[in-house]
Amino acid sequence: MPRLPNATTAHRRGVPRSVRRLLGPTLLLGAWVALSRSGVISETVFASPAKVWDAFVDLVSTGQLQHNLWVSLQRVLIGLFFGITVGVALAVLAGLFQLGEDLIDGPMQILRSLPVLALPPLMILWFGIGEEPKIVLISFGVAFPIYINTFAAIRSVDGRLVEAAGAAGLGRLGLIRHVILPGALPGFFTGLRFAFAVSWLILVVGEQINATSGIGYLAMTAREFLRTDIIVVCLIVYGVLGFASDALIRLLERGALQWRPSFSGT
């Protein structure tokens, strides 16, 4: 007999999930307002929501926020494109072929242990002080979560499915296309979510390499003038971008994995 949802579950399901996901950020904002008004958080240490809002309006009205945001988005998207391409290509080669794993996995495990945030001086020596080191840093950091999760997902495909596909007459290419790669999609999307988070983190460091624009540059300039309100605006922008990118990936994941029922909470 199917289990009937209780009243709490039914009520929760009546509220769109997109609205429920905003509850956490709303509570965080409410706590910030309350702590600022009560004086627990000093405005000299962390700007109040009112001052942050005024700074946001000023940055938007002058066009500074839009310009710097667009520059940062370009850097992230280009870095993601190259990082995802390299990460997926290496994961497929290492996941499908034993020789590929022998040649690729070892160096990837060594390289991923390098502290990405300590690489800017080397990147400057190799690529100069233009856009290249920023994009290379993002690509470098993005490639590893994509590679690790996709590789693990390929190797985790149920061997019985592979045997059944072979018994059904699927050739090697058909097996890869219809069984292995679709089965690895959940792992790829997990890696993609990590990759987006890493890209925003590395962008902050990359935009301190002789940058003249970008959200990181805007925050660095504000720090020199002790403008905590602008710094908080930049932090909020990073947070909103991370939240929005994760929501976008969730949406793509649901569309790509409609064939795969999964547990979504009670």
> What is the Cα–Cα distance from 121 to 129, expressed in whole angstroms?
10
Cα gap 190→197, rounded to integer Å: 11
Instruction: Tokens for 81, please give them.
Output: 């494109």
Strand, coil or helix: 207: coil
7 occurs within a structural domain = no
In a domain, 261, yes or no: no
| C-beta of residue 148 within 8 angstroms of C-beta of residue 105 | no
Whole-structure pTM value: 0.77
The number of distinct structural domains making up the chain is 1
188 neighbors 148 (Cβ within 8 angstroms)? no
Residue 128 covered by a domain: yes
Answer whether residue 46 is part of any domain: no
pLDDT in tens, the chain (266 residues): 445 455 444 445 566 766 777 777 788 878 877 877 777 777 777 777 888 888 899 999 998 899 999 999 999 999 999 999 999 999 989 988 889 888 998 989 888 888 877 787 788 888 877 788 888 889 999 999 999 999 988 888 766 666 666 666 666 676 776 677 777 788 888 889 889 888 888 888 777 777 778 888 888 888 888 788 888 899 888 888 888 888 888 888 787 776 665 544 44
Sign for the CA dihedral angle at 37, 40, 41, 45 comes to: positive
Residue 27 belongs to some domain of the structure: no
Residue 109 lies in a domain: yes
Sequence-distant (6+) residues with CB within 8 A of 204 are: 216, 219, 238
Amino acid occupying residue 129: I
The CATH number for 103's domain is 1.10.3720.10
67 within some domain: yes
Residues of the domain holding 179? 60-256
